[in-house]
Amino acid sequence: MPAVEAPSGSSPSKSTPTFSPQDVTVLFVLGGPGAGKGTQCANLVRDHGFTHLSAGDLLRAEQDRPGSQFGDLIRNCIRNGEIVPMEVTVRLLENAMDEAITRRQSNTNNNNSSSGDRKSRFLIDGFPRKMDQALRFEEAVCPARLVLFYDCPEAEMERRLLERGKTSGRADDNADSIRKRFRTFVDTSMPVVEYYEAQGRAVRVDATPGPDAVYEDTRAKLASRLGEDF
């Protein structure tokens, strides 16, 4: 099946989300490029059993998928630090959620494991970066419970990205793309963070210290919002 294809029963203009927040918990994870979203998501997956979906990783996989009609579009957007049209990204996320939920159900059925006792819980990393994505995802896919926002000064993010660029192989970890990504983050993505903060749905974490300290702070803040045994 192509990666960009609707799960059966969904259509772009529907008014009911595909997944109910009663069955599925979604946390959006935001922060500038290099703020440490991916690192902290990996910690939360290890200790708390979330499923991690990185919008950027899904886009890069779609870009490289033979036969994708979106490859060139995605490649250009990523290099220029621009946001890929939301239809593509929302659909990739919805499909990935659908697959993870189906996989979990069949594991539960096959091994009698207890994973079915808890709801499916997703960390959606690097999304939504633009208001239209936020509104569309919550309306059509699933309302989000919280937004984890990793707050980091630009100078520190730049240092981390240039360091990562030595080995990441990412087409956008170079000085020119980094500058464009910062610009998009300030102009387009910060309004999304502010929208959720105004609704009391954002959890702000200072991402300047080292990864362990940031993780401790993340856990403490999530525990106070979601309950100690989140």
Among 4, 83, 147, 222, binds ligand UDP (CB under 6 A): 83
**Taking CA 26 as the corner, what is the angle to CA 114 and CA 63, rounded to the nearest 5 degrees?**
105
- DSSP secondary-structure letter at 127? B
Query: What is the sign of the dihedral through the CA atoms of 207, 210, 211 and 217?
Result: negative
When asked if residue 91 is in the footprint of ligand UDP (CB under 6 A), the reply is no
How near is the Cβ of 22 to ligand UDP at its closest, in Å? 25
- Measured from the CB atom, is 17 or 56 closer to ligand UDP? 56
When asked if residue 34 is in the footprint of Mg ion (CB under 5 A), the reply is no
Give the integer Cα–Cα distance in Å for 44 and 49. Answer: 7
Which of 122, 103, 123 minimizes the C-alpha distance to 113?
A: 103
Q: How many residues bind Mg ion (CB under 5 A)?
A: 1
Q: Of 2-10, 33-41, 203-211, 221-229, which part binds Mg ion (CB under 5 A)? A: 33-41
Q: Binding residue per annotation — 82? A: yes
Q: Binding residue per annotation — 34? A: yes
Which of 69, 76, 45, 41 minimizes the C-alpha distance to 55?
A: 41
Q: Of 9-17, 82-90, 107-115, 220-228, which part binds ligand UDP (CB under 6 A)? A: 82-90
When asked if residue 38 is in the footprint of Mg ion (CB under 5 A), the reply is yes
Among 53, 77, 96, 140, binds ligand UDP (CB under 6 A): 77
- Measured from the CB atom, is 32 or 38 closer to Mg ion? 38
DSSP string, 130-196: SHHHHHHHHHHT---SEEEEEE--HHHHHHHHHHHHHHH--TT-SHHHHHHHHHHIIIIIHHHHHHH
Binding mask 24-43 for ligand UDP (x = CB under 6 A): ---------x---xx-----
Say if CB 37 and CB 159 are below 8 A apart: no
How near is the Cβ of 79 to ligand UDP at its closest, in Å? 8
Q: Binding residue per annotation — 60? A: yes
**Taking CA 25 as the corner, what is the angle to CA 21 and CA 31, rounded to the nearest 5 degrees?**
125
When asked if residue 181 is in the footprint of ligand UDP (CB under 6 A), the reply is yes
Which of 90, 74, 81, 103 minimizes the C-alpha distance to 28?
A: 90
121 alpha carbon, distance to own chain's centre: 12
When asked if residue 82 is in the footprint of ligand UDP (CB under 6 A), the reply is yes
Binding residues for ATP: 34-39, 164, 209
Residue ranges that bind ligand UDP, judged by CB under 6 A: 33, 37-38, 54-56, 59, 77-78, 81-84, 89, 126-127, 129, 133, 172, 181
